[in-house]
């Protein structure tokens, strides 16, 4: 029995809808499962206690503080470096130059390097070679290198979206290049840059493999006080709990995941808000 | 005089920016340097052929053996399994968004897929271990607690949004005259998708598949949690396996002493991982840019 053309079309349309619906259903099931398992463990004590061998007393305080420290440090390192790199590539070079093309190819390849390789890089260079040991700063530097390509590429996009009329206008008034770049183009591109930065930070906040490599897993029962202190972060603490055989720790892991996802969603909502409210120049 | 000072300002700022730009170049050089040097040191202890073609992976217990093939098959199970899930459904979702979905539906579905893409991998690891594995064991009771199938399924879920969004970009960047030509000849949406859009966008579909596979190969936390830590030369997805990435995590968690073959092998495995993903990424980007500039 063969199907008519329109039957084939309907069948295909139906399977398209079904596949799309199933993939969205997975998202719903994932979130529901986490809520169901973790909600009971989520209370103020959970946020305010340090990790413990006894599930009933274990909390996520050190991981939450560790994540905030890591985020702050990573932002302070990665944003200036990434934005300056993008400014140089977009505003100071000719895009047809083969060296510029090579640097851009290099950056897009760096974006595809597995995060665990960055972990090995951090372990060898920051932890061992530069003697930073298992510290916040070693973790932040490692994560900075990891998200650098994302910041560069999104900043380049934001700079490209600024109309040339702004540059020509400034030059016509006698401005020098650094006036044009830092006084006109950069401010106009900031909302677009912010969106990219927040998205790259939300990638950094969920990263665990490279931080495990630079030694974030150690049992941490205090909040870090300086950049040379040892640390743990939310995803690493979650990994630690998921890896234990006892059921109760899986519940704690789920509660930790709720906290992590809450932080992530806040970040994303801010990004969307900035994009909708402040972005004057877009390139689609 | 002031002009001179401004000129110096201008040049020095450009120089500072150039210096900062070189950081990202040096990252690549340093990665290649570290992996190259430490792998070289490793191959002084273990012959290259034993590493590449050996079928026993036992880096910690005597008699030690460093045959990487079990880690490769472990990684292959994850890549093949996740591809089987993610490639067809990714393409189908892209086709749906392009040819069937209304603008409004599209506006709802795309951000939801982005959420799926933005969920941290450790969360997928948790999901695999506490939801998918018990589900599989319901149907196949012989399945081990740690198994490749569960890992492959979550990695498939993770790379699905990447494939669907790259394919969606590829489909919507095709000249609309192609589609309209198809419809003008009386073709149904299904025929336009299968006979016009997919053939015309095949290079970029290929590119997105390659990039997604490279991502699956490098995926670490989900497979470490779900697939286990037993390096075994098998293609049975119901057994506990170990991927290349999971092995590196295992070494960094244990207290392997620095300098020994067991420590150095971390770098040789990472070197292999870097090489494979690097080649895939280059091929993927090449396909992508070629089809962007030439043709469609």
Chain-chain contact of B18 with A217 (C-beta, under 8 angstroms):
no
Take residue A74 and report the two structure tokens written for it.
């990573």
- Structural domain includes residue B195: yes
pLDDT tens-digit map of B234-284 = 888 888 889 999 999 888 887 666 667 788 888 999 999 999 999 999 999
> How much helix, strand and coil, in percent to the nearest 5, is found in chain A?
75, 0, 25
Question: How far B123 CA lies from chain A's nearest CA (Å)?
Answer: 7
Pairs of residues, one from chain A and one from chain B, whose beta carbons lie less than 8 Å apart: 240
Chain-chain contact of A85 with B266 (C-beta, under 8 angstroms):
no
Rg (CA), chain B: 24
Nearest CA in chain A to B86: A23
Range of the domain at B123: 69-227+269-293
- pTM of the model as a whole: 0.90
Take residue A112 and report the two structure tokens written for it.
């595809």
Choice between B104 and A199, residue whose per-residue pLDDT is larger: B104
- Structural domain includes residue B146: yes
Question: How far B218 CA lies from chain A's nearest CA (Å)?
Answer: 5
pLDDT tens-digit map of A150-177 = 999 999 999 999 999 999 999 999 888 8
- Structural domain includes residue B149: yes
Q: Where are the alpha helices (DSSP H) in chain B?
A: 2-45, 48-53, 69-95, 103-118, 121-127, 133-139, 148-172, 176-184, 189-192, 198-200, 202-218, 221-227, 244-253, 261-293
Question: How far B63 CA lies from chain A's nearest CA (Å)?
Answer: 26
Question: What CATH number did the domain enclosing B147 receive?
Answer: 1.10.3720.10
Chain B CB contacts of A217 below 8 Å? 253
Alpha-carbon dihedral of residues B237, B238, B240, B245, nearest 10 degrees?
30
- Structural domain includes residue B26: no
- Structural domain includes residue B56: no
- Structural domain includes residue B18: no
**How many domains does chain B fold into?**
1
Chain-chain contact of B35 with A34 (C-beta, under 8 angstroms):
no
Question: How far B18 CA lies from chain A's nearest CA (Å)?
Answer: 6
Q: What is the pLDDT of residue A1?
A: 58
Q: Please give the average per-residue pLDDT across B143-171, as a whole number.
A: 92
- Structural domain includes residue B237: no
- Structural domain includes residue B63: no
Q: What is the pLDDT of residue A230?
A: 86
- Nearest CB to A145: which of B27, B191, B217? B27
Chain A CB contacts of B273 below 8 Å? 114, 116-117
When the pLDDT of each residue in chain A is averaged and rounded to a whole number, the result is: 88
Question: Confidence band (pLDDT; 50, 70, 90) for B53?
Answer: confident
Nearest CA in chain A to B187: A5
Q: What is the pLDDT of residue B259?
A: 67
Q: What is the pLDDT of residue B257?
A: 66
Q: What is the pLDDT of residue B47?
A: 87
User: Could you give the C-alpha distances from B87 to A29, A97, A271, B196, B220, in angstroms and in order?
Assistant: 21, 36, 29, 19, 20
DSSP string over B236-277: -TTS----HHHHHHHHHHTTPPTTSHHHHHHHHHHHHHHHHH
Reduced to 3 states (helix: H, G, I; strand: E, B; else coil), residue B141 is coil
CA atoms within 13 A on the CB side of B199: 8
Q: What is the pLDDT of residue B292?
A: 66
Chain B CB contacts of A149 below 8 Å? 24
Q: Residue A156: count other Cβ atoms within 10 Å of its Cβ.
A: 23
């Amino acid at each position: 029995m063969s199907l008519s053309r329109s039957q084939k079309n309907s069948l295909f349309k139906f399977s398209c809808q079904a596949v799309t619906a199933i993939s969205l259903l997975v998202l719903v099931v994932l979130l529901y499962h986490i809520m169901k398992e973790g909600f009971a463990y989520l209370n103020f004590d959970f946020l305010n206690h340090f990790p413990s061998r006894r599930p009933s007393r274990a909390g996520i305080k050190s991981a939450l503080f560790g994540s905030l420290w890591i985020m702050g440090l990573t932002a302070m390192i990665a944003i200036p470096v990434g934005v300056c790199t993008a400014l140089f590539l977009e505003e100071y070079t000719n895009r047809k130059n083969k060296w510029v093309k090579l640097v851009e190819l290099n950056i897009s390849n760096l974006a595809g390097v597995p995060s665990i390789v960055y972990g090995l890089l951090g372990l060898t260079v920051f932890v061992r070679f530069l003697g930073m040991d298992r510290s916040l700063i070693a973790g932040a530097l490692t994560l900075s290198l990891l998200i650098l390509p994302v910041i560069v590429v999104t900043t380049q996009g934001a700079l490209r979206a600024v109309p040339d009329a702004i540059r020509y206008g400034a030059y016509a008034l006698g401005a020098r290049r650094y006036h044009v770049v830092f006084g006109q183009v950069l401010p106009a591109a900031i909302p677009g840059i912010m969106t990219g930065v927040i998205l790259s930070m939300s990638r950094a906040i969920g990263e665990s493999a490279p931080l495990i490599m630079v030694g974030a897993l150690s049992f941490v029962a205090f909040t870090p006080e300086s950049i040379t202190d040892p640390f743990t972060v939310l995803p690493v603490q979650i990994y630690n709990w998921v890896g234990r055989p006892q059921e109760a720790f899986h519940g704690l892991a789920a509660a930790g995941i709720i906290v992590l996802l809450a932080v992530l969603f806040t970040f994303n909502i801010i990004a969307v808000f900035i994009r909708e409210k402040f972005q004057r120049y877009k390139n689609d | 005089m002031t002009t001179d000072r401004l000129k110096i300002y201008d040049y020095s700022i450009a120089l500072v920016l150039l210096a900062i730009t070189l950081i990202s170049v040096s990252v690549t050089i340093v990665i290649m340097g570290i992996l190259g040097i430490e792998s070289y040191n490793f191959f002084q202890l273990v012959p290259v052929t034993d590493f590449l073609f050996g079928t026993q992976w036992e880096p910690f217990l005597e008699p030690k053996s460093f045959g990487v093939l079990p880690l490769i098959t472990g990684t292959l199970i994850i890549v093949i399994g996740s591809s089987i899930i993610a490639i067809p459904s990714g393409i189908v979702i892209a086709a749906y968004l392009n040819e069937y979905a209304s603008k409004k539906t599209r506006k709802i579905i795309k951000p939801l897929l982005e959420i799926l893409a933005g969920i941290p991998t450790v969360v997928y690891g948790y999901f695999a271990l506490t939801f998918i594995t018990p589900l599989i064991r319901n149907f196949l009771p012989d399945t081990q607690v740690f198994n490749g199938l569960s890992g492959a399924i979550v990695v498939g879920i993770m790379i699905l949004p990447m494939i669907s969004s790259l394919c969606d970009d590829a489909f919507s960047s095709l000249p609309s005259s192609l589609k309209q030509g198809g419809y003008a000849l009386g073709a149904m949406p299904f025929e336009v998708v299968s006979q016009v859009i997919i053939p015309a966008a095949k290079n970029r579909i290929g590119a997105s598949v390659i990039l997604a596979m490279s991502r699956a190969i490098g995926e670490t936390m989900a497979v470490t949690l779900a697939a286990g830590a037993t390096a075994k030369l098998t293609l049975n997805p119901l057994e506990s396996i170990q991927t290349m990435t999971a092995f590196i995590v295992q070494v960094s968690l244990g207290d392997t002493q620095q300098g020994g073959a067991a420590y150095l092998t971390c770098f040789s495995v990472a070197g292999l991982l870097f090489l494979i993903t690097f080649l895939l990424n280059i091929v993927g980007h090449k396909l992508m840019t070629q089809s962007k500039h030439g043709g469609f």
